[in-house]
Structure 1
Amino acid sequence: MGMFERDRQVFADAEPLDDSYEPEDVRERDEELEKYQRALQPIIDNRPTSNIFLYGKTGTGKTVATKYMLSHLENSAVGYDDVDLSTVWVSCENLSSSYQVAVALVNELRKNQNKDRISTTGYSQQRVFDLLYEELDALGGTVVIVLDEIDNIGHSDDILYGLPRARSNGYVDTVRPVIVGISNDFKFRDNLSPKVKDTLAEKEILFPPYDANQLRSILEPRAEKAFHDGVLTDDVVPLCAAFAAQDTGSARQAIRLLREAGELTQAKDSETVTEENVRDAQDELEKNQLYQGMQELTTQGHAVLCALAYHQALDEVPVRSRDLYERYLTVCDRLDADSVSERRVRDHLSDMHMLGLISVNERNEGLSAGRYHEYELDIPLKTVLDVLNSTSRFEELSDIIKSTADDNNLLQSGISDY
């Protein structure tokens, strides 16, 4: 036999443990699904529908619930002659402005009609919006526009003002756009401009982290399909659920932990996944989680991390938030990106602290300077630069920071430091 042989003793069908897997039902989200159904019901009733915004951390079921509900909505709409429904889905993961979102929407709509894409440059924002209105009007009826990870656009929120008002402003005649926004940032709405808040008139649905019992309920049917009978010991699924619940409450994390435990078992040529395999998988994923945590930061989060990395490269750490904020503004200017308030930068720093990416020290200088916080990286600088370098907008800044660190002999090694 060759180096690679097909596994016949651990995994029966690993697809249910894949991030892209869509379950037949959505578990442990009955209350949220009920709210979602009420929010979408006006579409079937053929009457004006409020925009819908879903909030919750990564892995709490927002995207799965949306795909599930829209699938049922589309199936139901077929039974009514007077309901004309279309859906368009855009991930805003790498989109940092309303202009970029509008271009992505135009191209997604054109793709469905086999029309040529438009360029991401060379048009004014108003022209792109006009093209978007033309494509939407050509569809007609109700168009549900899903903007996944919408918080990446930051303060550039014109798209959230223009789309809800398109019909009343006469930009479209035959279409009713309905926005479904999915955000990992509970405070995203707080940072929208007042005119957008007033225009959106949205229904909000919050997706809290899962507890251990809920995660166990989600894992069990996947585990039953994914593994051969008798492979998992009784404590494997509960332990995976407990680890994920204690950390993030993320179903995605629990599923990945179960899969990693199976893969480690397979690598050892063993026939049984045990508690020890789960604990080994947890150690392995904790290392990878630092990379993933950084990669899943918003553009603003990456800008804050970039500013802190530069102070690290200059050996100017720990750094006070006010000094870090000045560097952050420079980063945003270099990226031609919108900046957020110093308070929001501290929120991003708090999130990164919870992810284990940075350390925070509280200082109290008494009456002279008062109480303040200082920050520094809690992981190797090279690890941060690897992630920034993999994000196209930050490649140039990453190279500058690396050069600065090299000059100061401060660049640490990467994975080996764990």
Structure 2
Amino acid sequence: MITNSEVLQADFQPAEILHRHDQINYLSEVLEPITDNQRVDGAFIHGPTGVGKTHTTQFLLERLEASSPEIETTLIDCWANYQYGATLKRVLEGYDIFRRRGEPKDDLIAKLKAEVDHPYVVVLDEVDQLEDDRLLKPLHEMPHITLLLIANEREDLYSRLDSRVHSRLAGYPAVEFKKYTQDELVSILRKRTEAATRGEVISEPHLEVIADRVGGDARFAIAILKNALEHADRRGGERVRKEDIESVLGDAREELLRATISKLTADQRVLYQILVEGGEQSIGEIYEQYEQRVRDPVVKRTVTGYLQKMEHYDIVELHGQKRGRTYEVTTTQLMDFEDVLE
């Protein structure tokens, strides 16, 4: 049934970005001066998970490079590169700047400033994952570097920034990505199905069933589609039935959760383990245990930010408001902690 499984993967970059024309046009206008070698500070791209922020930005980078070969670009996953040194390393690599092992960070910043002499667009995806926001200030101040910052919540990030960093980034234009509508999701699923299969394998009403289950999250919708196609294929069917969709909802959700949990940073894994072991807890209870388990604990406000990030990805549930707020994991019924983090 499936002839091209690649287009059903979460990280597949489509050649066409659907239903994000307003965002593409606005960001294109923001970045247009770069093509004339003019200074552009950057932009802030925000919205919930599964709404096309990363794919749209990658599409814009490819278009920029195609129209202006002198422009360099790089997209850095700050969830995987959350430490200052790791992020800086990726910035240098994106411009092909050589660095010696053990070279001091201040020397690397100076080298970056000296060697970047034409437009360089640096995308920091999941920027709210950065362990240390001090790198943002020197990057912002370099005349040829343009920063595109991607996160779930603009205010969540800005509230945690050092005041000196905040003052420099506060003027960045913000581009919001809202959740997809059901009709938009159906057209996205239809396009993926056409690219992944041959013939009429799933009806429009069944695509609507998938779109209705995911709350505007395209990642989840595509995961359900993939699993439903595979399920129908295993039973020898030529078309997806509603039962195929209903039977794989848990599998698709678990697939996404496993992928997300496997990306957690060391500190976030400790927090996840605390919640798995102890159930619903307040931030005070969580932080007390966290301090006992890690060698170099971050401040409580940063831990709260980690938990909010995990909530955006449906790993953690938040209950109550402000001082009475509690946290608990959403995934204990789906998977074993040790199994996920092997």
Q: Give the shorter-chain TM-score range.
A: 0.7 to 0.9
Q: How far off its partner does 1:215 sit? A: 0.7
Q: Is the 8 A contact 1:86 1:142 kept in 2?
A: yes
Query: Where do residues 224-243 of structure 1 align in structure 2 (5 Å cutoff)?
Result: 224-243=194-213
- CA 354–107 in structure 1, closer or farther in 2 if over 3 Å, else same: closer
SS of the equivalent of 1:52 reads strand
How far residue 307 of structure 1 moved from its aligned partner, in angstroms, is 3.5
State yes or no: 1:15 paired with 2:6: yes
CA-CA distance at 1:160 after TM superposition: 0.5
Establish whether residue 125 from structure 1 lines up as the match of residue 105 from structure 2: yes
1 CA distance for matches of 2:259 and 2:124? 22
Query: Superposed, which structure 2 residues align to 1:148-163 within 5 Å?
Result: 148-154=125-131, 156-163=132-139
Task: Report how far residue 75 of structure 1 moved.
Answer: 2.3
C-alpha offsets along residues 234-278 of structure 1, whole Å, 9 cap, x if unaligned?
322111211123xxx221211111111111111112211111111
Tell me the matched-pair count: 338
The answer to whether the 8 A contact 2:185-2:211 is kept is yes
302 and 208 in structure 1: CA distance in 2 versus 1, 3 angstrom threshold = farther
Give yes or no for the alignment of 1:385 onto 2:338: yes
CA contact (8 A) 2:315 2:329 kept: no
> Take 1:25 and 1:381, find their aligned partners in 2: how far apart are those partners?
34
Kept after mapping to 1: 8 A contact 2:44/2:150? yes
Q: Cα–Cα, structure 1 residues 151 and 337, in superposed 2: closer, same or farther, change >3 Å?
A: farther
Q: How does 1:174-323 map to 2 (within 5 A)?
A: 176-186=144-154, 187-200=156-169, 201-245=171-215, 249-297=216-264, 301-309=268-276, 312=277, 318-323=280-285
- Secondary structure (helix, strand or coil) at the match of 1:25 reads coil
Q: Which runs of 5+ in 1 are unaligned?
A: 1-9, 79-83, 168-175, 364-370, 391-418
Residue-by-residue CA offset, 1:291-343 (whole Å, 9 max, x unaligned) = 2343355666434324434xx2xxx5554331222223344x52x3633417x
1:100 paired with 2:86, answer yes
Deviation of 1:30 (Å): 1.8
- 2:205 alignment partner AA: D
Instruction: Give aligned-pair identity as a percent.
Output: 23
User: Which whole-Å CA distance do the structure 2 matches of 1:34 and 1:42 have between them?
Assistant: 14
SS at match of 1:235: helix
Answering whether residue 36 of structure 2 is matched by residue 52 of structure 1, we say: no
Residue aligning to 2:298: 338
* Whole-Å separation in 2 of the counterparts to 1:220 and 1:358: 32
Q: What is the Cα deviation at residue 349 of structure 1?
A: 5.8
TM-score under structure 1 length normalisation = 0.72
> How far is the alpha carbon of 1:382 from its aligned partner?
7.3
Q: TM-score, normalised by structure 2?
A: 0.86
Q: Distance in 1 between matches of 2:318 and 2:104?
A: 42
1:329 to 291, 298, 312: 291
Structure 1 residue 13: Cα displacement: 2.8
> Structure 2 CA distance, aligned partners of 1:28 and 1:19?
18
- Report the 3-state secondary structure (helix = DSSP H, G, I; strand = E; otherwise coil) of the residue aligned with 1:240: helix
CA separation in 2, counterparts of 1:373 and 1:72?
A: 44
| SS class of match (2:73) | strand
2:123 is matched with which residue? 146
The offset of 1:125, in angstroms, is 2.5
Equivalent in the alignment of 2:25:
34
What does the per-residue CA deviation read over 1:343-381, in whole Å, with 9 as the maximum and x for residues that have no partner? x62882695498265585x69xxxxxxx83555555169
In 2, Cα distance between equivalents of 1:279 and 1:222: 19
Give ranges in structure 2 of 5+ residues lacking alignment.
Answer: none
Q: Which amino acid aligns with 1:99?
A: G
